[in-house]
Structure 1
């Protein structure tokens, strides 16, 4: 056996009895106790005196065990109001006994006195008084430990919060992609907010594992008293605040309001050992960091020790707590932690307040840029499907389709950080990322679409698509759909009926030809008409015939594969198939605008156009492609791309840069590895079904439509006239915001509630959204409309 080999002890009761008799002269009963990586026995001698025999695993060092003995003696003197275990000497006068198993492995054994009491875990309800006393106890112990040190405690220890980022390497053992994503997100936040500040925090020796199996209490009418703590095997020289963070993890298990619970412990701790401002600012992330260490170690341990249930005993409540904590704004946690210590919250003292920002926007930002909501939000952080504002409120994001795989998804963030730290330049140089991403992207798109052009926004992509089409066909005329929106460039506005027919618009140019929105709810052909798609498509044929009478041909027909701004419109069956046939007969090209709905959002397919069983000539991609990073693309055929290489170079300074392509690759990885297209299908179906049930209950709901996580709810005041309920829609959006859910309105009449969340949206999120929406309908008494 080498010094590096690790083996947990597994001694039989009879072997233990022999050692106890030989070295401690103890006869009695023994009972094996649960443990993590060592072996513990409760020993009851003939006088009914109880002891605990601890057998460490093979890698435990004797110096460390001796240090534990010294610190226990020290704490017994300094913290006399509490009880701690003490070591007994062997017959040979030693406190550490070396024993061997049948395989020749050596282990260190120690006999300690039994500390009586009830485990904190066994008390179902923790009173405010007990939590406060728990904080007092921790601080009393830590205050004493400020004056104690030993070289053996200065060690590299997996469970030390200083080493939280080692958990990155263990993420692979977490089977659930949803759970793995949450843990990785919190590790990223730890790396961002905590690690750079470690050197500023107080350091001292800490117990390091005041969990609910190690803390002992005595019960009384006032809620209980803290007896003491056992198991000093995790002692380490670390940041002092880590003691509190670790202890809080376990008392927050199964608590409905984690912050309220934490405040009682913090108050008690602060009353004995005053906490510093930076410690309180980082405490939320330290708690999350400890949980990440825990869940990754549980995942690894369950593989290493599948028969030992104790190694994962805290796994379920740990995950439940992480799920709760991601819904808690770190700002709110910081505020409440400081309140518990009667400390002034200085977070916003050097930051702009909302009124200041609004004033500066009016002064320096063009007034054509609007702001969402009557009372605008100042959003300061994103956390997967959640957004945090500056005052501590958390919002479930059900409307931002740009952070496709979640705000600040750790894999996407890491990809950008890593590449940005190495190189970011233009495409005139050779680089792996450009060609590898183009290859990956075109692999996801049907043939013959296999040539990419990269831009920085969907608007640029649409503009370029129009250039490609006009160059290839030699024509200028474009056929567009009513109420459609395609971008912000001059060329984009010319083909966006939503803009040129709207406020400030000047109508369609002579070379722009508009057809009706294929809306089977509000349009002339309804959902019940099996031929609705073909009938709407016939309008395109009519437009082409009118063009031909003037000796014109279409350069292209452009349409969103599912229409967003037009009101979350799902195209009727066979619409694009018929339209593409007519356009191609007239030598025009077919452009599918996937800027809003591509990359698996529709659930059934990766691309929206696939739901219509067609393959366009040009596809434009944007928004979700980079998860919020400036990246967009045009994908077309080799023939169309080659025709564009006519001597006039197309060069985009930032398009296709190494960082953008690294991000694009990461987004594709996440979608595939986390099976997010399948998630969009599954959660979207559940969400739509729940929303359809509301339609039966509330007359204001005229239509629920969509596929995957692309859903619209059209509100009308009259089911016959379809009078748009626009003011009601705006009111509901505001109410939803006040209840912590962000949605918005769409459609030409602004009466369609649009739901387009990140595609990591889960069933619980969907249920919360529908339940909240239902409550708002009931509160407004909209049932009677």
Structure 2
């Protein structure tokens, strides 16, 4: 290799050509004039040209560059243009017909070219790219390599500093540019490791023409109408070369690492996508990560070198931060782990281990029965949050051993005890070992021949030809570095025993890993079951996607679920939900579970009553009277009758029937943008187009929607808008009167729940209630979402308006998840229905429901949850409101207590709803461990209604993550 050429090319500054000189070149040679905008480049000079004839890119490079290389780039562009697929720039010929001009500008030799400009933007400035975009980069790279496989040109045979074949030489030459000794040593060590892994593979790596710069700088994207990134084209073919094919993917993956938030596994969607369109050889897969590490070293060295020789190059200086981050992430994990991760990502495996001839590790226990302890997410041993107790797993193992003699955990069973609430990153819940409790003094023997190493007082490691076994809790009877034969005693059990296998003696494997890294670590640290003679591997969990497919095949699909690929949730505790891999998600949308999930009082009360009796409310039992009395104590003084049902829909449906019976009419006023339920009557008065896109066109003639009194984005704005909104009510009442129809009533959420908890304008309900009653109608307060203490300052939402309704409906949190709803009203209204026949709800007011309902009220009082809604809810709103000044997308914060809404907008003047951004934000929050969903007719409001046990810690976590996502860009 001509090292001198390589060194020379790595040390060139960009050409010094001013904008004025560039404009002269354009006018003279291309007949163009216009505005110029400098574009970044490390060693070239690029200008965007905005002219009357369109947009172009003027590329100026040093005359040192070979014209043959530049002609190869042009030929490559032409080759790609002839193959349908990704858009690439077209070369614009000069007035003399040449597509390449070699000139002298200001005393320096340069090459000049003009290319089409591809509209869009690069993504290098974004902190986070979602997995679909990462996969898009990999797919593009694979398709590009497929197309270029049939392309050749003499100019591809070139010596280029970025060519991975020269990485070692370039690194050795540029290392002195790093003045910090520690940093220099880190780079040298990383490069040496990468070279050592790469050398046995190089002769088997496929060679072809590649772009070698498909990065977040050189791929152009645009957002579509759904705010999803769509690929537009590829630019900058300056690194086109004939070299190892796998180099192309390594360059792409390395560039993605500065978006990875420290996680090198972030690149795997790109690897899978490339492999799906352009299958990689086994040797290429093994070479990929060493090439990425080498690339990261070249990036930082070249970047530091370029800044030192061209300090005015902002592009190079700004990129240095990214390049050091790429190096940090690329060297943050062992090479062996990433090799395993890449192989398993494309469903390839490491060589099998011949374990048939292993001797038993605990020969005296062969054939003995072990108690295999369930420490997983659904374990019956875990209850009421006891898994959060320090050392719970070991304690359960010890208790089982005391009862059964021998006990063991399961390899690969996700541990509930290792879940981490209010945490954005995955917990390390996957055990790469087996823990055992066996009698102290039990002999431990070498399962294979090898060398023993004793580290400290706890760890023994036996290194054999294929495997290492690591043991904790063994008192050694041999010396460190001793060579053992198979079956030789190496010590005796001296406490809790931990057994781990590993393919590499040098690999510092953890005892636990995260779910996303489990497949790779399993390949490196297989189950020690064969050494123990024990069937201790975790049972294979049902794949969430398979289970979802079963749901879709049997459960009516109009009953939607959250998220496109929802995690499987089977356990909850307080204000968190836990998936089958032990990850805790902050529940910010579950207003059903007011007391939180898994409350022991609920379990005890339900269990006790189920063991006694559960039947329908026509039987005589104490609970129904006791619960009804408790509810009436919470209601206004003039209310004295209770109906018990199963849901908010039933409650609202019944309230409408009561209005009909009492008034003698049918016509109902309801408010636009509202949701009241799914039954025929409740749906009829529901006007939310988010829940039913045809809501406004499918109302029956007895429903009269009035203008939504939305003080933020409604027809009238501000706190003084009540009279303006009341006019809509007056208009509809006049229309009903003109038609000589009897008004039945008016139904409204006293706080606009479906719009994120917006308060109605002061005085609105007082005026409307008076108008409705004057025409013989009744006033229904739908408190299903906003009542029962959730708003903090008031127990009932209607209290904020200073009114008393005729009928109150409630449900949701009444039963903390138990189907339970209620209607509270006055005796004369209740008895009006009796004239039309009996009312009966089979399960409404059952003994179990009533006991649970009373227990909810007891716990709310004992745990001061209403006070928590006021204090922590108030703090919550303050923190959310602080986001308005920091993030333009946040338009307003509605509500109070634990019923809040964050409205996202694109323009603070027009209030254009940020619908797609809200969806993207909710999906991103889910990745960070938070469940959140949009609401409102435009689905641009975060509907925040968590369990009322939510703590300040959870509030801080939510707001911090919300701010983080807004800063990432949506």
CA gap 1:188/1:330 in 2 versus in 1, 3 angstroms = farther
Out of 494, 500, 517, the residue aligned to residue 708 of structure 2 is 517
Query: Aligned pair 1:507/2:698, yes or no?
Result: yes
Q: Which aligned pairs between 1:51-200 and structure 2 lie closer than 5 A?
A: 185-186=384-385
CA shift, 1:563, in A, is 2.1
Query: Aligned pair 1:475/2:665, yes or no?
Result: yes
Out of 452, 457, 464, the residue aligned to residue 654 of structure 2 is 464
Q: Secondary structure at the match of 1:649?
A: coil
Aligned partners of 2:427 and 2:582 also within 8 Å: no
Alignment partner, residue 145 of structure 2: none
Query: Aligned pair 1:526/2:717, yes or no?
Result: yes
Query: Between Structure 1 and Structure 2, whose CA radius of gyration is higher?
Result: 2
CA gap 1:429/1:686 in 2 versus in 1, 3 angstroms = same
CA gap 1:375/1:348 in 2 versus in 1, 3 angstroms = farther
Out of 789, 793, 800, the residue aligned to residue 611 of structure 1 is 800
Alignment partner, residue 402 of structure 2: 203
Alignment partner, residue 42 of structure 1: none
Aligned partners of 1:266 and 1:337 also within 8 Å: no
CA gap 1:547/1:373 in 2 versus in 1, 3 angstroms = same
Q: Which aligned pairs between 1:416-431 and structure 2 lie closer than 5 A?
A: 416-431=606-621
CA gap 1:608/1:673 in 2 versus in 1, 3 angstroms = same
Aligned partners of 1:485 and 1:499 also within 8 Å: no
Aligned partners of 2:433 and 2:527 also within 8 Å: no
Query: Across the two proteins, how many residue pairs are aligned to each other?
Result: 506
CA shift, 1:558, in A, is 0.2
Q: Secondary structure at the match of 1:705?
A: strand
Out of 821, 825, 834, the residue aligned to residue 632 of structure 1 is 821
Query: Aligned pair 1:661/2:661, yes or no?
Result: no
Alignment partner, residue 720 of structure 1: 909
Distance 2:432 2:554 in 1: 46
Q: Which aligned pairs between 1:332-731 and structure 2 lie closer than 5 A?
A: 342=528, 347=538, 349=540, 351-498=541-688, 502-505=692-695, 506-527=697-718, 530-646=719-835, 648-731=837-920
CA shift, 1:647, in A, is 5.7
Q: TM-score, normalising length from structure 2? A: 0.48
Bigger RCO (CA 8 Å, 6+ sep): 1
More helix, by proportion: 1
Distance 2:565 2:418 in 1: 37
CA shift, 1:378, in A, is 1.0
Q: Secondary structure at the match of 2:744?
A: strand
List structure 1 segments (4+ residues) > 6 angstroms apart after TM superposition: 197-200, 237-242, 256-275, 328-341
CA gap 1:735/1:426 in 2 versus in 1, 3 angstroms = same
Aligned partners of 1:500 and 1:508 also within 8 Å: no
CA shift, 1:274, in A, is 11
CA shift, 1:611, in A, is 1.3
CA gap 1:410/1:500 in 2 versus in 1, 3 angstroms = closer
Q: TM-score, normalising length from structure 1? A: 0.59
Aligned partners of 1:332 and 1:393 also within 8 Å: no
CA gap 1:333/1:568 in 2 versus in 1, 3 angstroms = farther
CA gap 1:570/1:334 in 2 versus in 1, 3 angstroms = farther
CA shift, 1:503, in A, is 2.3
CA gap 1:264/1:618 in 2 versus in 1, 3 angstroms = same
Distance 1:673 1:535 in 2: 44
Aligned partners of 2:780 and 2:808 also within 8 Å: yes
Aligned partners of 1:684 and 1:709 also within 8 Å: yes
The Cα offsets for residues 136-182 of structure 1, whole Å up to 9 and x where unpaired, read as: xxxxxxx9xx9xxxxxxxxxxxxxxxxxxxxxxxxxxxxxxxxxxxx
Distance 1:357 1:368 in 2: 17
Distance 1:251 1:512 in 2: 53
Aligned partners of 1:457 and 1:632 also within 8 Å: yes
Alignment partner, residue 116 of structure 1: none
Alignment partner, residue 90 of structure 1: none
Distance 2:514 2:806 in 1: 47
Q: Secondary structure at the match of 2:751?
A: coil
Aligned partners of 1:498 and 1:566 also within 8 Å: no
Aligned partners of 1:378 and 1:390 also within 8 Å: yes
Distance 1:447 1:588 in 2: 20
Aligned partners of 2:891 and 2:903 also within 8 Å: yes
Distance 1:436 1:700 in 2: 49
Aligned partners of 2:545 and 2:565 also within 8 Å: no
The Cα offsets for residues 536-578 of structure 1, whole Å up to 9 and x where unpaired, read as: 2232122112211111232010001222223432212111111
Q: Secondary structure at the match of 2:752?
A: coil
Distance 1:561 1:336 in 2: 54
Aligned partners of 1:403 and 1:758 also within 8 Å: yes
Aligned partners of 2:428 and 2:513 also within 8 Å: no
Distance 2:601 2:516 in 1: 26
Aligned partners of 2:788 and 2:796 also within 8 Å: yes
Q: Secondary structure at the match of 1:421?
A: helix
Which runs of 5 or more structure 1 residues have no equivalent in the other structure? Answer: 1-142, 147-182, 205-236, 243-247, 276-327
Aligned partners of 2:401 and 2:437 also within 8 Å: no
Alignment partner, residue 732 of structure 1: 921
CA gap 1:651/1:251 in 2 versus in 1, 3 angstroms = closer
Distance 1:378 1:619 in 2: 36
Distance 2:387 2:590 in 1: 22
CA shift, 1:508, in A, is 1.8
CA shift, 1:658, in A, is 0.1
The Cα offsets for residues 61-105 of structure 1, whole Å up to 9 and x where unpaired, read as: xxxxxxxxxxxxxxxxxxxxxxxxxxxxxxxxxxxxxxxxxxxxx
Distance 1:372 1:772 in 2: 19
CA gap 1:500/1:370 in 2 versus in 1, 3 angstroms = closer
CA gap 1:259/1:404 in 2 versus in 1, 3 angstroms = closer
Distance 2:624 2:799 in 1: 26
CA shift, 1:622, in A, is 0.8
CA gap 1:259/1:525 in 2 versus in 1, 3 angstroms = closer
Aligned partners of 1:564 and 1:746 also within 8 Å: no
Alignment partner, residue 3 of structure 1: none
CA shift, 1:762, in A, is 0.8
CA shift, 1:238, in A, is 9.5
CA gap 1:467/1:272 in 2 versus in 1, 3 angstroms = farther
Aligned partners of 1:374 and 1:734 also within 8 Å: no
CA shift, 1:646, in A, is 1.4
CA shift, 1:365, in A, is 1.7
Q: Secondary structure at the match of 2:758?
A: coil
Q: Secondary structure at the match of 1:426?
A: coil
Distance 1:468 1:743 in 2: 36
Alignment partner, residue 947 of structure 2: 758
